[in-house]
Amino acid sequence: MPAVAAAVSIVTILNRVGVVSLRDLASTPQGVADGREWQLLTSAFVADRPAVPSVVGFTIVGLAALVLAGARVLWAAAVAGHLLATVVVYGVLNAAEVTVSRPDYGTSAIIAAWIGVIAYCIWKRGAGLAALGLCIVAALVGWLFRPDLDILDTEHAVALAVGISVAVWLPRLRLVQLRVLLARRGLLLHDGLLRLGSARRSS
Each residue's pLDDT tens digit, 27-81: 999 898 888 999 999 999 999 989 999 999 999 999 999 999 999 999 999 999 9
Distance, CA of 47 to CA of 8 (rounded, Å): 7
Torsion of CA 134, 46, 93, 74, to 10 degrees: -40
- The values of phi and psi at residue 24, to 5°, are -80, -15
Distance, CA of 96 to CA of 104 (rounded, Å): 18
27 secondary structure, DSSP code? B
Mean predicted confidence (pLDDT) in 97-115? 93
Q: Please say if the pLDDT value at position 203 is more than 80.
A: no
Q: How far is CA 153 from CA 72, 141, 201, in A?
A: 26, 14, 25
Amino acid of residue 102: R
Distance, CA of 175 to CA of 54 (rounded, Å): 33
Distance, CA of 88 to CA of 23 (rounded, Å): 21
Q: Please say if the pLDDT value at position 14 is more than 90.
A: yes
**Residue 63 burial (CB count, 10 A):** 15
